[in-house]
């Protein structure tokens, strides 16, 4: 482990007594410490050299800790920043986290917590004041996979499995998600990942963990909806021997198991209100009290939560605590549905097929025939990437060649009628009947193919008119971007580098 003297810290506070207290605490830990009393004083030092971290009070005589933070961000500096906010001003803390602070502390500063937060910012293990799970070891929480559960509520990840590498797709939406992952990985800020079921929310959480200084510590994924209500407290916070019938020995909970690492709370919207209050307390206090224990113990855990529900609406409906929502939702990452990024479909299929082949020990991986891909692109995928994975698993099992064709997909025509109606979100109304006029062209022999050709032509003309911008072209036709994308995918119309291309295999 790197020795503490290799880390240099800058402490910024205008109160001499506090400055000395922080300085002495950190010197005792073995760090190299310098101090400053104002924004300008701090900036003058930062111009001369770099530090491992900057710890700044929020209120300074010539500005605020946020000003300092923003200057560091603008200059692209790598120092981790920790701000110290006045008690009872959570909005300042949230603002600091959004501006890029690694973490915040509230006055009066608890020195144990102070040391722990700084160690955590520097990526030094054993932050949190208690015994930490050894890096790379299986955390004790893995033992909670109880018998009789319908879905395993906990998954423990140690080491790296390359979640970012697993994440295929270069659509604008996915590029934005990746950018956010990289940005938030550097801080301790709580993240709320939202998105429909199966979109890849857990993959995002893992990628954040793997990109953070906590990567060598455990990643504990908990499905909040899969744990019986009466067991929640013991599972989350652990218990002491004799705390209740059957508690034959002390056991750690998810929080202790995730010590120094990341706790991923999936389906957070499923937590009952009573448990929400207890979770809020732990987040505020950064300490947990196991069931049956007399005192709390500090714990350093980063929380990432996920939901497929509209948590804001859950708050409105009184089913989710507003204060907890506020704490968890400092940074939100929305993972788009597969329908909204159909352009990612080929890349995701390829990646998933590679994985399936690898797991089965088969190489090269099977490939999708163009008409099979076109058929997939017409489907609405209510279960998103997970549904696509299942479908491809089945298709690989069915095909006896290197190619997966339409018939291997097992997508009956009926599902497309449903998908189309769902996607368009508007009732399909028949066109008003017009009386035939003399000299009109003959009636088409295949109405669907005829209308497709007309629609394809209109889409292409609108795209050309609007310089291949799908949003503008769609709007000119009264379509949302989503509807436009769907129609383009259905008709095999693609925007390429130098114009529009049409997949000739499409109807």
**Looking at 101-109, 200-208, 390-398, 471-479, which segment touches ligand ATP (CB under 6 A)?**
200-208
| Closest to 500 in 3D by CA, of 469, 455, 454 | 469
Least spacing, CB of residue 163 vs ligand ATP, in Å: 8
Stretch that binds ligand ATP, among 78-86, 201-209, 395-403, 446-454 (CB under 6 A): 201-209
User: Can the peptide bond before residue 144 be classed as cis, meaning omega within 30 degrees of 0?
Assistant: no
Binding of ligand ATP by 46 (CB under 6 A)? no
Burial class (CB in 10 A: 0-12, 13-18, 19+), 244: exposed
Our finding on whether 270 is near ligand ATP (CB under 6 A) is no
By beta-carbon proximity to ligand ATP, the closer residue of 234 and 385 is: 385
Q: Quick one: which of 209, 411, 190, 477 has its CA closest to 306?
A: 190
In whole angstroms, how close is the CB of 192 to ligand ATP at the nearest point? 13
| Total of residues contacting ligand ATP (CB under 6 A) | 20
Residue with Cβ nearer ligand ATP (82 or 352): 352
Taking the CA atoms of 338, 344, 346 and 349 in sequence, report the sign of the dihedral they define.
Answer: negative
Q: Which is closer to ligand ATP, CB of 53 or CB of 348?
A: 348
User: Is residue 479 close enough to count as binding ligand ATP by CB under 6 A?
Assistant: no
339 binds ligand ATP (CB under 6 A): no
Interacting residue with ligand ATP among 252, 266, 340, 408 (CB under 6 A): 266
Q: Which of 169, 260, 269, 336 binds ligand ATP (CB under 6 A)?
A: 169
* Alpha carbon distance 127, 118 (integer Å): 8
CA distance 310 to 67: 34
Residue 10 forms beta bridges with which residues? 34, 54
Check residue 360 and report its DSSP letter: H
> What DSSP element (H or E) covers 41?
helix 39-48
Q: 471 by DSSP, 3-state: which? A: helix
Closest residue to bound ligand ATP by CB: 200
Nearest-approach distance from CB 177 to ligand ATP, in angstroms: 9
Rg (CA), the chain: 28
Give the closest residue to 290 by CA, choosing from 253, 327, 262: 253
The 275-314 contact track toward ligand ATP, x by CB under 6 A, reads ---------------------------------x------
Residues 143, 147, 153: CA angle, nearest 5 degrees:
60
Residue 199 interacting with ligand ATP (CB under 6 A): yes
Q: How far is the CB of 415 from ligand ATP (least distance, A)?
A: 20
> How far is the C-alpha of 70 from the C-alpha of 58, rounded, in Å?
12
Our CB check for ligand ATP shows the closer of 225 and 242 to be 225
The H or E element containing residue 312 is helix 311-316
Cis before 490 (ω within 30): no
- The answer to whether 384 and 352 have CB atoms below 8 angstroms apart is no
Distance of CA 397 to the CA centre of its chain: 32
We find the least distance from the C-beta atom of residue 196 to ligand ATP, in angstroms, to be 7
Q: Min. distance of Cβ 75 from ligand ATP in angstroms? A: 33
Question: Judged by CB, which is closer to ligand ATP: 12, or 265?
Answer: 265
CB 459 within 8 Å of CB 491: yes
Please say which residue, 80 or 351, places its beta carbon nearer to ligand ATP.
Answer: 351
Between residue 353 and residue 412, which ones bind ligand ATP under the rule CB under 6 A?
385-386, 389
Report phi then psi at 422, rounded to 5. Answer: -65, -45
Neighbours of 427 (CB within 10 A): 6
The nearer residue to ligand ATP, 12 or 353, going by C-beta atoms, is 353
Binding mask 139-168 for ligand ATP (x = CB under 6 A): ---------------------------xxx
Stretch that binds ligand ATP, among 124-132, 151-159, 196-204, 224-232 (CB under 6 A): 196-204
Residues that bind ligand ATP (CB under 6 A): 166-169, 195, 197-203, 266, 308, 348, 351-352, 385-386, 389
């Amino acid at each position: 482990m790197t020795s503490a003297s290799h880390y240099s810290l800058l402490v910024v506070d205008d109160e001499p007594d506090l400055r000395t207290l922080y300085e002495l605490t950190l010197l005792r830990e073995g760090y190299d410490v310098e101090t400053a009393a104002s924004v300008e004083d701090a900036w003058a030092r930062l111009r001369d050299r770099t530090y491992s971290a900057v710890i700044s009070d929020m209120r300074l005589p010539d500005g605020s800790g946020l000003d300092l933070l923003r200057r560091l961000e603008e200059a692209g500096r790598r120092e981790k920043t920790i701000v110290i906010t006045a008690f009872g001003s959570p909005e300042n803390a949230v603002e600091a986290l959004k501006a890029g602070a690694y973490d915040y502390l509230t006055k009066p500063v608890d020195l144990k917590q102070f040391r722990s937060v700084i160690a955590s910012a520097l990526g030094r293990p054993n932050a949190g004041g208690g015994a930490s799970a050894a890096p790379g070891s299986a955390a004790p929480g893995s033992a909670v996979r109880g018998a009789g559960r319908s879905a395993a509520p906990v998954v423990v990840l140690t080491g790296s499995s390359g979640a970012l590498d697993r994440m295929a797709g270069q659509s604008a939406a996915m590029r934005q998600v990746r950018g956010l992952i990289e940005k938030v990985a550097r801080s301790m800020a709580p993240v709320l990942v939202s998105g429909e079921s199966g979109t890849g929310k857990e993959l995002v959480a893992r990628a954040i963990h793997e990109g953070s200084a906590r990567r060598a510590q455990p990643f504990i994924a908990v499905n909040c909806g899969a744990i019986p209500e009466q067991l929640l407290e013991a599972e989350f916070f652990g218990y002491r021997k004799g705390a209740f019938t059957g508690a034959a020995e002390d056991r750690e909970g998810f929080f202790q198991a995730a010590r120094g690492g990341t706790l991923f709370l999936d389906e957070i919207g499923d937590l009952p209100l009573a448990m929400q209050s207890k979770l809020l307390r732990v987040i505020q206090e950064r300490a947990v009290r196991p069931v049956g224990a007399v005192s709390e113990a500090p714990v350093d855990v980063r929380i990432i939560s996920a939901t497929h529900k509209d948590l804001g609406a859950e708050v409105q409906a009184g089913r989710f605590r507003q204060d907890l929502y506020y704490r968890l939702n400092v940074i939100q990452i929305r993972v788009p549905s597969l329908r909204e990024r159909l352009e990612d479909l080929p890349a995701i299929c390829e990646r998933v097929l590679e994985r399936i082949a690898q797991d089965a020990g088969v190489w090269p991986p099977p490939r999708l025939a163009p008409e099979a891909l076109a058929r997939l692109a017409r489907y609405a995928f209510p279960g998103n990437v997970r549904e696509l994975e299942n479908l491809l698993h089945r298709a690989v099992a069915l095909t006896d060649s290197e190619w997966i064709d339409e018939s291997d997909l097992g997508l009956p025509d009926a599902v497309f009628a449903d998908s189309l109606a769902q996607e368009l979100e508007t009732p399909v109304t028949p066109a008003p009947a017009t009386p035939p006029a003399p000299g009109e062209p003959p009636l088409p022999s295949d109405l669907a193919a005829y209308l497709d050709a007309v629609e394809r032509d209109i889409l292409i003309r609108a795209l050309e008119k609007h310089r291949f911008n799908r949003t503008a072209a769609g709007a000119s036709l009264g379509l949302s971007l989503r509807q436009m994308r769907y129609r383009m995918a259905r008709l095999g119309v693609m925007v390429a580098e130098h114009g529009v291309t049409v997949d000739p295999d499409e109807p």
